[in-house]
Amino acid sequence: MGPAGPTGPVMSREEADRALERLTAEHEAVESSLLALQDHAGRRLLEGAELTGTTARRWARAEAAITRLWTVFEHYSGALAKAQEVRERRRWPSREDLVELTRLLRGPRTLPGSLLGEDAAAAGGGGGPRLTEEVTLGGLVEWMNSWYAQALDVVAAADSVWSALPARIDMLAAELRRVRSLAHSVGVRPGEHPSGDDLERTTEELTALRAEVVSDPLAFWTSAGGSSAPGGGRPDTSRYDRAARQLEDIRREIDAVLNVRQDSEQRLMRLRDVLSRADRTLAEAREARGEVLAKIAASEVPAVSGPATALHEDLSAAAEYRRHSQWHRLSPLLESLEQRAEDELDRARAQLSAVTAPLAVRAELRGRLDAYKAKVAQQGMAEDRMLIERYDAARRMLWSAPCDLRAAEDAVLRYQHAAQDVLTARQGRGSGGPARAEGVADS
């Protein structure tokens, strides 16, 4: 280390060589980065686009930073070339050579403040813009790295958004056109069907979204939290995702309408069959009610409703919709009709069951009476006078019209109890075997 020079201690030959090697490597790295930035697809797209909003403001600052980069890089290259020229004068540099190398490699140089831009003071720790700036080659490298990161952040983010969103939006728009064509073919149009209105809104949203993405890609960039890496973040696809979900919902609705077009005839036939069965069941219930009123002395027999007129009218309307290819109107009507028709058939069956319940009770009593008579006959007691009288009384009630079910049930119970008593008495006299067991089990 020699005596002090104009810029501090004079560098030794080894120190000068190491400084030259380091600054040359930094020069090559900066040059390689600048050339890569120059050829970056995102930069070419930014230069050719009509930018708006956030992207226009940030790209204007990035362009200025790129211009300063090249200008300062040329100054840096010239200073480095001068230092290399001095070093190449002699294998063993003289005192004057080392002093000059120290000044070139370590010493500050004066540059116009306008050349370094508004970021120079912040990068160099200054208090604000000045007419001139004193900066070393190392300081120039720091400024160039800062400007490069600023420019690359804008270029990489815009390129990421343009790579991610416009192509996807175009694919979604193509799918939307296909769905719209299908929708029109089945009558799903704006103002006539909710899905037609949704299609219109989704089309407008995709058109607006693409225009905004192309002109202001950085408005759709979400920076990674805490990341300072150029381009650190991801494209914001939330609006695209919402439009895609909306289109999927519309597509499912259109598919449902298309399915209606394909199977509407079979569904209408099934509906007619269900309603016909419901009508026949109600007619049977009305006929059965007349029979019950004639044969059973019932205090209450529920009334039977008439055919479902509203359902038949809606069925006729559905047939008209199908005839005129109004599939978007037919689809919801068929779904409603299918459920209501099944409900109507269930209601008709319930009414038939309610009306015929007294006849079922009478039939059950007749069967029970005959079953006990058969048991009595098996035990050889068919000629018992008391049993004959009670059987005849119960039978007259059950086979007369109108039949008093309560009185008939009491008569059947009297016959049943009398038969049990007789059988028990006979068993007490020693009559056993299979017949005894059967009589007790069924009592």
Q: In terms of pLDDT, which residue wins out, 93 or 343?
A: 343
List the beta strands (DSSP E) in 38-120. Answer: 109-112
CB 157 within 8 A of CB 218: yes
Give the pLDDT band (50/70/90) at residue 299.
low
Q: What is the pLDDT of residue 438?
A: 40
Q: How many residues does the chain have?
A: 443
* Dist. CA 330–CA 257, nearest whole Å: 8
Q: Tokens in use for 168?
A: 């996807």
pLDDT band, residue 131 (cuts 50/70/90): low
pLDDT score, position 36: 77
Q: Dig out the tokens for 122 from the structure.
A: 């912040």
Q: Which residue has the higher pLDDT, 389 or 214?
A: 214
User: Is the model's pLDDT at 429 over the cut of 70?
Assistant: no
Tokens of 268: 């209408």
Residue 3 has pLDDT above 70, yes or no: no
Distance CA 210, CA 162 (A): 10
pTM value is: 0.54
Work out the average pLDDT over 168-174: 94
Cα 329 to Cα 185, 193, 274, 332, 334: the distances in Å are 13, 8, 21, 6, 9
Angle (deg, nearest 10), helices 405-428 and 434-441? 150
Q: What is the mean pLDDT of residues 67-90?
A: 79
**pLDDT band at 115, cuts 50/70/90?**
low
CA distance 146 to 68: 11
- The gap from C-alpha 145 to its chain's centroid, in whole angstroms, comes to 45
pLDDT of residue 15: 75
| pLDDT exceeds cutoff 60 at 225 | no
Residue 439 pLDDT > 80, yes or no?
A: no
* Average of per-residue pLDDT across 176-205: 86
Q: Check residue 270 and give its pLDDT.
A: 92
d(CA 34, CA 104): 24
